[in-house]
Amino acid sequence: MEKVVTFGEIMLRLAPPGFLRIVQARSFDAIYAGAEANVAITLANLGVSADYVTRLPNNDVGDACLNYLRQFGVGTEKIIRGGDRLGIYFLEIGAAQRGNKVIYDRANSAFATINPKDFNWNKILSDACWFHWTGITPAVSEGAADTCLEAVKKAKEMGLTVSCDINYRSMLWKWGKSAKEVMSQLAKFVDILIGNEEDAEKVFGVKAPEVDVARGEIKATSYENVAKQLMKMFPNLKLVNFALRGSISASHNTWSGVSYDGKKLYLAPVYDITHIVDRVGAGDSFSGGFIYGMLTYKNDLQKALNFAVAISCLKHSIYGDSCIVKLDEIEKLMKGITSGRITR
């Protein structure tokens, strides 16, 4: 199968055990996490050749992060070393009516201080068919935004499929330019745009009619209107996908997705997830699952979408940002087997 390259920042994730609040914590569970790394792990776990590109500090923490990626089969040969520190984020996992909380500590990280001269995109992309990035990357710093722009331009020049998850993070867009200004320039080189139920509104000002995200009221068919407007803004787009979360509480969500190809809106099944273990990274597994579906099922867009929603539904049952599920588990869920019975 063809190779996928993803590009972005990976961080040390520190979370209090169980459902403790940060102010209660006397210890933290440590793992590594980042949107584009999560996509690479999702793909590698499914047998797709996936290279992850980032910059890590040349110290023991950077080494530990490399080892974390390698255990899942992610290609790390194109990762560069340098900078002073690995970015960190603290995660407080919510429950019932108390939502998750994130605190970033990533200023002046090894990735935040990159510049375009650090990466040889001709070499990095030489054996790839697909390049994936998210809106988190250009939000980190001006250097990261400039590097991302060079990467997407080169990927298009070399004939790769380019996908982007909008992934709006309000706490990161602090370096000078707005998300809309930067993302509008980058989106000109994107073939497949992915978002959640509110990304398009927050970045591009395109709101889905008859939807109230804050109240968890999501109407899937409303996103055809959003997709059409995005395709008018960016005529190069071939597909627009949305992962759709209806938040009943922090522990209970509905989960689905849609895809629009310029002619037809495809709707995925709706899953009722009543006992969420960890929702962080679900959107990344949706992206990874969709890329897998497009590479595997080729022209069957409905099946690719259903696969993306099924794998990201299962991600809610897994602690950590990474989606570690087996292909047969996804296929069972796609067939409607939702009982969760023990396998032995």
Domains and CATH numbers, the chain: 3-334 (3.40.1190.20)
CA angle, 53 then 58 then 63, to 5° = 75
pLDDT band at 338 (very low <50, low <70, confident <90, very high): confident
Per-residue pLDDT tens digits for 153-207: 999 999 999 999 999 999 999 999 999 999 999 999 999 999 999 999 999 999 9
Average pLDDT for residues 3-31, to the nearest whole number? 96
Q: Side chain identity at 55, as an amino acid letter?
A: R
Average pLDDT for residues 289-307, to the nearest whole number? 96
Q: Side chain identity at 307, as an amino acid letter?
A: F
Q: Which residues pair with 11 in a beta bridge?
A: 33
User: How many other C-beta atoms are found inside a 10 Å radius of the C-beta of residue 18?
Assistant: 10
Both structure tokens of 4: 């996928």
pLDDT surpassing 90 at residue 339: no
pLDDT of residue 49: 98
Average pLDDT for residues 116-122, to the nearest whole number? 96
Residue 268 phi/psi, 5-degree rounding, is -95, 165
Average pLDDT for residues 44-53, to the nearest whole number? 97
Q: Is 80 helix (H, G, I), strand (E, B) or coil?
A: strand
Q: Which of 1, 35, 10 is nearest to 287 (CA)?
A: 35
Both structure tokens of 98: 């108390």
SS3 per-residue string spanning 273-342: ECCCCCCCCHHHHHHHHHHHHHHHHCCCHHHHHHHHHHHHHHHCCCCCCCCCCCHHHHHHHHCCCCCCCC
* Average pLDDT score over the chain: 95
Q: Which percentage of the chain shows pLDDT scores above 70?
A: 99
pLDDT surpassing 60 at residue 1: no
Both structure tokens of 239: 């597909």
CA 37 to centroid of chain Cα atoms = 8
Both structure tokens of 275: 């006992």
pLDDT band at 39 (very low <50, low <70, confident <90, very high): very high
pLDDT band at 235 (very low <50, low <70, confident <90, very high): very high
pLDDT surpassing 80 at residue 344: no
C-alpha pair distances (Å), 147 with each of 71, 119, 332: 28, 8, 40
Per-residue pLDDT tens digits for 272-292: 999 999 999 999 999 999 999
Q: Side chain identity at 228, as an amino acid letter?
A: K
Per-residue pLDDT tens digits for 84-95: 999 999 999 999
Q: At what angle do helices 301-315 and 282-297 cross, to 10 degrees?
A: 150
C-alpha 31/C-alpha 61 separation (Å) is 11
* Strand 265-267 to 239-247 pairing: unpaired
pLDDT surpassing 90 at residue 341: no
* Strand 271-273 to 128-134 pairing: unpaired
Q: What is the DSSP string of 3-53?
A: EEEEE---EEEEE-STT--GGG-S--EEEEE-HHHHHHHHHHHTT--EEEE
Per-residue pLDDT tens digits for 65-86: 999 999 999 999 999 999 999 9
| DSSP state at residue 217 | B
pLDDT of residue 141: 97
Per-residue pLDDT tens digits for 240-270: 999 999 999 999 999 999 999 999 999 999 9
C-alpha 260/C-alpha 239 separation (Å) is 6
The answer to which of 83-87, 227-231, 337-341 has the lowest mean pLDDT is: 337-341
pLDDT of residue 216: 82
C-alpha pair distances (Å), 30 with each of 204, 244, 276, 290: 35, 29, 20, 28
Decide if 340 contacts 330 (C-beta within 8 A): no
